[in-house]
């Protein structure tokens, strides 16, 4: 807002007949304008470090699906940050993280985004640079001869307002916040991605028992890609063709919905009903984690190729499709 005011001030003053060049350009040289601009540059640098994504993952692991924890973490994080990098910049930095937090926890984004905005305003009262209004008021006070505000001129009052405001948001305010946006559904379910990459188990009455994988599943009319075989907790990758099929074998396959239904009906296979959370993935043995992931809009790998992002080296993961 301050930056916009500074930019608009110059062309307006130019229409004044008695305006001097220094007055016409004063908006561009305003302390408030330059300070807010510097805060936005700082916030962009913080975003590029990736620390916000790491922090978001830690918070999501702590809050999980608990809306109270999500709200508490959101307001407790943004309020103190807003006092030192400007509340507008703080919201811009944390907005993608909070949206992702709401999506992971199946929470309406509006129940977190509105408190995010209010908490940033409370936190902005901690220091001089917390809000654009504080900086403008300090500059005006200096012009009038009263003197500029110091960095922590109103920190004591700001702390009181911040504590009271956060307490209100966590108690009364949370019940007044409307759920205007419905919680987003799981993207895997929304796009039916589970229909194309899934696990099937061989039943004891399957006609495939004793046959080689190559002949039973690969060299057939079924359009199926075999990705891995799990047998007795041991994972087998390529080559799978020579192996003989046994009861209880679990195949990870990629196929279309119709072919999958045909396999289940004709070949004695069943879907493996598995629900896995992040904690189970972390404790799983190396090489046994096969998951589908969706690149979020705020991800650091957006616009990168797998090579330029050093995907395999960075995450120790191999992309199959």
Distance, in Å, from the CA atom of 113 to the CA atom of 282, rounded to the nearest integer, reads: 30
For 66, list phi and psi in degrees, rounded to 5. Answer: -85, 110
pLDDT reported for residue 280 = 62
Confidence of residue 6 (pLDDT cuts 50, 70, 90): very low
> Is residue 196 classed exposed, middle or buried when 0-12, 13-18 and 19+ CB atoms within 10 A define those classes?
middle
Q: Is the pLDDT of residue 13 over 50?
A: no
Inter-residue long-range contacts of 205-210, CB under 8 Å, 24+ positions, other chains counted: 205/268, 206/245, 206/247, 206/267, 206/268, 206/269, 207/267, 207/268, 208/245, 208/267, 208/268, 208/269, 209/245, 209/246, 209/247, 210/244, 210/245
Q: Sketch out the chain's domains with CATH numbers.
A: 2-176 (no CATH), 188-315 (3.30.70.1450)
**166-221 per-position pLDDT tens digit:** 999 999 998 888 877 777 655 455 555 555 678 888 888 888 888 888 877 776 77
> Of 240 and 291, which is predicted with more confidence?
240
Return the percentage of the chain with pLDDT > 90, whole number. Answer: 17
Burial class (CB in 10 A: 0-12, 13-18, 19+), 306: exposed
Between CA 184 and CA 190 the distance in angstroms is: 9
3-state secondary structure of 271: strand
Lowest mean pLDDT of 116-130, 205-219, 236-250, 282-296, name the range.
Answer: 282-296
Residue 41: its pLDDT value, please? Answer: 84
Do 40 and 85 contact (CB within 8 A), yes or no? no
Given a cut of 80, is residue 58 above it in pLDDT?
Answer: yes
Write down the pLDDT at residue 171. 94
User: pLDDT per residue over 114-159, tens digit each?
Assistant: 999 999 999 999 999 888 888 888 888 888 988 889 999 989 999 9
pTM given for the model? 0.52
What is the pLDDT, as a whole number, of residue 184?
Answer: 60
| Segment 70-85 mean pLDDT | 92
pLDDT band at 8, cuts 50/70/90?
Answer: very low
> What pLDDT was estimated at residue 16?
53
């Amino acid at each position: 807002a301050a930056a916009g005011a500074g930019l608009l001030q110059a062309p307006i003053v130019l229409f004044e007949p008695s305006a001097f060049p220094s007055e016409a350009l004063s908006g561009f040289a305003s302390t408030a304008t330059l300070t807010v601009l510097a805060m936005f540059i700082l916030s962009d640098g913080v975003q590029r470090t990736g620390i916000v994504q790491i922090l978001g993952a830690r918070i999501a692991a702590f809050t999980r699906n608990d809306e109270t924890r999500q709200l508490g973490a959101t307001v407790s994080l943004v309020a103190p940050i807003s006092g030192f990098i400007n509340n507008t910049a703080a919201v811009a930095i944390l907005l993608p993280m909070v949206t992702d937090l709401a999506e992971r926890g199946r929470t309406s984004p509006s129940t977190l985004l509105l408190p995010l905005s209010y908490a940033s305003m409370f936190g902005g009262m901690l220091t001089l640079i917390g809000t654009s209004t504080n900086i403008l008021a300090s500059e005006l006070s200096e012009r009038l001869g009263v003197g500029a505000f110091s960095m922590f001129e109103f920190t004591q009052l700001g702390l009181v307002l911040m504590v009271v405001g956060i307490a209100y948001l966590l108690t009364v305010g949370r019940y007044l916040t409307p759920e205007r946006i419905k919680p987003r559904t799981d993207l895997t379910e929304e796009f039916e991605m589970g229909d194309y990459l899934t696990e099937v188990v061989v039943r004891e009455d399957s006609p495939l028992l004793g046959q080689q994988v190559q002949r039973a599943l690969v060299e057939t009319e079924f359009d199926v890609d075999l990705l891995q075989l799990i047998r007795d907790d041991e994972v087998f990758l390529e080559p799978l063709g020579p192996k003989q099929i046994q009861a209880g074998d679990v195949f990870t396959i990629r196929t279309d919905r119709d072919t999958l239904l045909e396999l289940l009906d004709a070949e004695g296979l069943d879907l493996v009903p598995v629900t896995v959370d992040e904690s189970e993935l972390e404790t799983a043995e190396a090489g046994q984690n096969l998951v589908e992931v969706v690149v979020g809009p705020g991800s650091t790998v957006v616009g990168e190729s797998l090579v330029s992002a050093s995907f395999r080296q960075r995450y120790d993961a191999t992309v199959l499709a």
